Structure formats: C-alpha cells, structure tokens
Amino acid sequence: MYELPQDITQEKPDVFRKKCPARYLLSRVSGKWSMLIVDALHNKNLRNGELMRIIEGISQKMLTQTLRELEEIQLVKRHDMQTVPPHVEYELTELGKSLREKICAMDRWIEENMLELIANNPSIQLKRNKT
C-alpha cells in the first residue's frame, strides 16, 4: 500500500499515489479507532481510563497502540505526571486540533445522515460484529 518514495521533498503530496507518504498518513488517520480518539479529545485532555469509557468497545491494547501511532505523527501529545499512582493525560497538538475539525465534520455528518444511509437496507441492521 505504501512504498518509500525516492525523494520525499520533491514529491507533490498525493493520496492517490501509493508511494506517497500522504497515503500512509491517510491509512493511519482514517482508522476507526484513530478517528474516534481524536474526536473524543475535542475539548479537554483525557486519561487512559476516560478514553476507555468514552469509546465503547475499544480494548486497552488498541487504545494504547493507536495513541502511540497518533503521537508518532505529531497529532497527540502524552503528558505523564510522574505520580504514584500514575496519572497520564493525552492532549491534541495544534496539528491534531486542526485535523479534529475535519474528523468531527465526518463523524457528525454520519450521525446526522445515519437513518438515510441505512434506509431500505434491512441487511445493515442485521450485521453485527462480535465484541
């Protein structure tokens, strides 16, 4: 899906090109958990447990893993208070806050158009994933 480009700086960013870093970033950002985490962090910093409670169905493993990935691409900042018991907060970076606008727009759009999207589609109401 994503291959190393010859020279990143001289390449025009383009999600349609499989060798472009933009494609890799899209796959990271568009993940379901990524979008939900960024959405959840909209107005305040949240702790591990708070995120677990807000995002129903996410596992501890996927939460941690996704947070680390979001940190890596500069969207989330991790604040470890170095206390006992541990207190860690996650915060959106400026870049993250900027992206959040786009993600929230999508999430809210989906919620607003939910009934229309599943209209005449009894099959969707039958689909269920485990967990």
- Where does this chain bind its own copies (CB under 8 A)? 1-4, 8-9, 13-27, 29-32, 35-36, 39-40, 54-57, 72-75, 95, 98-99, 102-103, 105-107, 109-121, 123-131
Site for DNA in 84-113 (CB under 7 A): 85-88
Site for DNA in 49-68 (CB under 7 A): 49-50, 57-62, 64, 67-68
Please say which residue, 62 or 104, places its beta carbon nearer to DNA: 62
State the Cα–Cα distance between residues 88 and 67, nearest whole angstrom: 12
Residue 11 DSSP one-character state: S
Q: What is the DSSP string of 6-26?
A: S-GGGSPP-TTSTTSHHHHHH
Strand-pairing partners, residue 79, are 89
Burial of 22 (0-12, 13-18, 19+ CB in 10 A): middle
State the Cα–Cα distance between residues 93 and 12, nearest whole angstrom: 25
State the Cα–Cα distance between residues 55 and 33, nearest whole angstrom: 9
Min CB(108)–DNA separation in Å = 22
The listed partner (DNA, its own copies, none) that binds 68, CB under 5 to 8 Å by sort, is DNA
Span from 7-15, 26-34, 92-100, 113-121 in contact with DNA (CB under 7 A): 26-34
Question: Do you know the residue count of the chain?
Answer: 131
- 4 binds DNA per the rule CB under 7 A: no
The listed partner (DNA, its own copies, none) that binds 43, CB under 5 to 8 Å by sort, is none
